[in-house]
Copies of this chain bind each other. A is one copy, B any other.
Amino acid sequence: MNAIPEQFLQSVQAKKAAIKPFPASTKIYLQGSRPDIRVPLRRIDQSPTQTSQGPVANPPVYVYDTSGPYTDPEVEVNLTKGLPPLRARWIEERGDTEVLPDLTSEYGRKRLDDPTTAHLRFPNPRRPRRARAGANVTQLHYARRGIITPEMEFIALRENQNLQAMKEAYGQRIHPGQPFGAHLPEEITPEFVRQEVTAGRAIIPANVNHPESEPMIIGRNFLVKVNANLGNSPVVSDIEEEVEKMLWAIRWGADTVMDLSTGKHIHETREWILRNSPVPVGTVPIYQALEKVDGKAEELTWEIFRDILIEQAEQGVDYFTIHAGVRLAYIPLTANRVTGIVSRGGSIMAKWCLAHHKESFLYTHFEEICEIMKAYDVAFSLGDGLRPGSIADANDEAQFAELKTLGELTRIAWKHDVQVMIEGPGHVPLHLVKENVDKELAECYEAPFYTLGPLVTDIAPGYDHITSAIGAANIGWYGTAMLCYVTPKEHLGLPDKEDVREGIVTYKIAAHAADLAKGHPAAQYRDNALSKARFEFRWLDQFNLSLDPEKAQEFHDETLPQQSAKVAHFCSMCGPHFCSMKISQEVRDYAEQEIEIGMQEKSKEFLQQGAEIYRKV
């Protein structure tokens, strides 16, 4: 591990590629009910359509923006200072937290005093905040008391994505969707957000120690979200790279990131990420716990784990994956599996349980965990430690036994007003995907589902972003609230920056496909705008409206690099004299001018008569 080059982290200017705004895009803010509720959106401007009557303007398209202040030219960001604490005043105003004089966790204090890591340490740490004695500071707690927090209002504005403007501009031929059990309102209101949180159907990961985060929501009656995993390992990667990956991930659209580091300096890496992350950050605390016992799972104790929870909660981690559903009795159910236990957290806890022949300390201390979580508003992501690691093991007894326990734990967490989501598989063939959602909703009382993929086949390592995106689009459609991305390197190696980009864009596709299929009110406008641009040969608009404008343009340039081709009324697939879009435009003009109503009437009449010239044979 080398020291962090100060000049590298000092300024975001050094990381231009990771924060470069997208073309034709401007960051705008929707104003909420109070001056400090300013909700970021990205506005994409378009060129006009050229018609025989002259140019006709195409209204801008507004899209959800996860990139944070980095893409706002008004905000000067310095990675060593961290982001401005957007939510600090809201948290403070509630008056139910206090700033602590010191870190509560033993390990946190130890790291702070360690001279050997001084050069790696984030130079401007925040003092930790915690609920006052007896207070509960979770968004669920407020929601249940009828309070609409600024976070909830922020989310309502954000989810709508300037709905009215988009509807007016691109509201033609919108499909109603098939939402299964989802209940999508015509417009998201702050009160709707509150109700969904109250019901436990949605969570707002928002640790009081992560005031830099821009509020977002995870629930099946909202936009499907995407998580990107980061994290170093003993083999490769370091702090600098992880921070850059985080910046890169939010640029491409990650709604949350998980820091899954397992190497040294987990603590320091996480601090750098949190202070600079505008999206919620999740972790798997057991990974760090295992580091402390030198990889010997059987030496883990509740005390070690507890200290880590507090350490991470005071740094600002917004949700914890906790594999409390791996119970002693379920472990033998995995013995005949093709791929046993593939979850890292699950296998650690399984080993501990067997070594001690005791129920997991995560399970037996679950109420104490809740006590910690509610003092900081850390949400649970109840881990699926027994998820299937292969098609053969999908939907088996071990998996569903654990799911039932996760439901039991959900009720306990809710008793403490702690927010909960449930993790899901894994590897599942297409026809068994829906059962996962149906069971999760039933067994876990509609707590939001958060799934990895699932991969719909095992036979394509190197392409598992795709095998899993197929499962992800489907499971999102059926009701999963957040999708954990998978990169092309899954099963093979650690993702580099390009893999992160590929993984996120792939998962934005899956999430958007699910939103369209559910009939999310704000989903289809972007498709309509892009398709209109495509049909009208507005090449740059087509690129700019896409999920990855840079790649779209790069691919187009490979065949037709000339600038003139960007305004050409043809493309490289058919060439200038043979273009269906062009012919189709002629057909449209012809149909509209020459035939008009008469022909359309005639055609309807013809259709009603059975539309056949040949008689049935």
Contacts and interface: CB of A to CB of B under 8 A. Distances in A.
A430 interface: yes
A555 B492 contact: yes
A contact patch SS: helix
Interface in A571-617: 571-581, 583-588, 590-592, 594-595, 599-600, 602-603, 606-607, 611-614, 616-617
A328 to B, nearest CB: 8
Given A350-B587, A401-B607, A587-B351, A178 B431 contact: yes
Given A459-B546, A494-B572, A531 B469 contact: no
Contacts of A552: 461-462, 492
B603 A466 contact: no
B617 A233 contact: no
B404 A611 contact: yes
Interface in A326-370: 327, 329-335, 337-344, 346-348, 350-351, 354, 359, 363-364, 366
A183 interface: no
A473 interface: yes
Given A354-B590, A477-B430, A559-B235, A513 B470 contact: yes
Chain A interface: which size bin? 35 or more
Contact of A513 (B404, B456, B585): B456
B462 A555 contact: yes
A584 B335 contact: no
A405 B234 CA distance: 63
A547 B613 CA distance: 47
A526 B346 CA distance: 26
Contacts of A556: 492-493
Contacts of A431: 175, 177-178, 477, 516-519
A412 interface: yes
A461 B542 contact: yes
Nearest to A499: B555
Interface stretch (A66-74, A81-89, A202-210, A391-399): A391-399
A587 to B, nearest CB: 5
A460 interface: yes
Contacts of A366: 614
A169 interface: no
A229 to B, nearest CB: 10
A442 interface: no
Interface stretch (A15-23, A188-196, A504-512): A504-512
B531 A233 contact: no
A295 interface: yes
Contact of A583 (B297, B456, B600): B297
B574 A513 contact: no
Given A335-B592, A391-B527, A463-B506, 8 more contacts: A235-B559, A339-B534, A339-B581, A344-B583, A347-B584, A359-B613, A456-B509, A470-B473
A-B pairs, 3 with minimum CB distance: A493-B559, A390-B531, A430-B517
